Structure 1
């Protein structure tokens, strides 16, 4: 049986550090994990950390084309069984919902084939998460076939309490496993 291939998009959120645990656990479970990082996510965690845990090159630049005869973001999308953005900032939710492709994560998302499972795990301030624009964008993503892995209610890094904390790594892995087992 071939390994399931997961594209893990990491966007700019304080929760980006949890992508290390997520990558590590998914890799231990036998998944092939290709990590895609936005520029802002790299302010919170380095590509080298995720490369060390995934044992694969981390993709940070949509314009980086290491193999001239192949377009990297198209090849990544073609190989995917599941695409997940965890954490997904309010900015990334808006980009994905509105088809804005200006980084490796949002560009790959537009190149995914229909059979690829799509998930989003928001992580942001409570008021940002509850903002009507963010909720509208999440509704668009759900209508487009994304499964939302809802954020937890918790004391957030900013000091506010409420929904917005990234779902636990265990919850995310459980959702991924359930999706593949269906």
Structure 2
């Protein structure tokens, strides 16, 4: 049976790497349903992800949909795994606080009993900030799995921890979470 994966993409320069993740998951026989935050669409277009996944890309919680369907609930109910890559500090903070004000954060609150993988990507100062670290600890305590960022030269020009994990490391975590 084909596994349904929700791929969340948030506002980070690393969003372009989500295209490779989505493409590989699709080629491996998974059905990838992409949800992009408004900030995520500033870095990569929904059309790119739609073309690679052959599925609708969700960007708006209140976009018109089939009258018989509540999209954020039906997406959550079909999902076998939720992956947010890249996950911004903003998304992590909202998730830790239980804020549901867009499609991705609303689906996050609606999923049940599936693995939730978070791959942070942000500036080192933001990643190491005590508030971000507290939010990560909170989510880990709730059962979220984190794919640790790497140390690298960041888009801002500084060297430090905060770069999105390598694509293969993310894909490996997905396979492991799905029991493959």
Query: Which band: TM-score by shorter chain?
Result: over 0.9
Q: Any unmatched runs of 5+ in structure 1? A: none
Deviation at 1:27, TM superposition (A): 0.4
Deviation at 1:31, TM superposition (A): 0.8
- Normalising by structure 1, we get a TM-score of 0.97
Q: Any unmatched runs of 5+ in structure 2? A: none
Q: 2:4 aligned with 1:41, yes or no?
A: no
Q: 2:168 aligned with 1:152, yes or no?
A: no
Aligned length: 180
Would you identify which runs of 4 or more consecutive aligned residues in structure 1 move more than 3 Å?
none
Deviation at 1:127, TM superposition (A): 0.6
Partner of 1:87: 86
Note if contact 1:100-1:106 (Cα within 8 Å) is conserved in structure 2: yes
CA distance in 2, matches of 1:140, 1:84: 17
Please show how residues 151-170 of structure 1 align to structure 2 within 5 Å.
151-170=149-168
Residues 90-117 of structure 1, C-alpha deviations (whole Å, 9 max, x = no match): 000001111011111101000011x211
Please give the root-mean-square deviation of Cα atoms over the aligned residues, in Å. Answer: 0.8
Deviation at 1:72, TM superposition (A): 0.4
Q: 2:14 aligned with 1:15, yes or no?
A: yes
Partner of 2:120: 122
Residues 53-101 of structure 1, C-alpha deviations (whole Å, 9 max, x = no match): 0000000001124111110000000000100110000000001111011
- Normalising by structure 2, we get a TM-score of 0.98
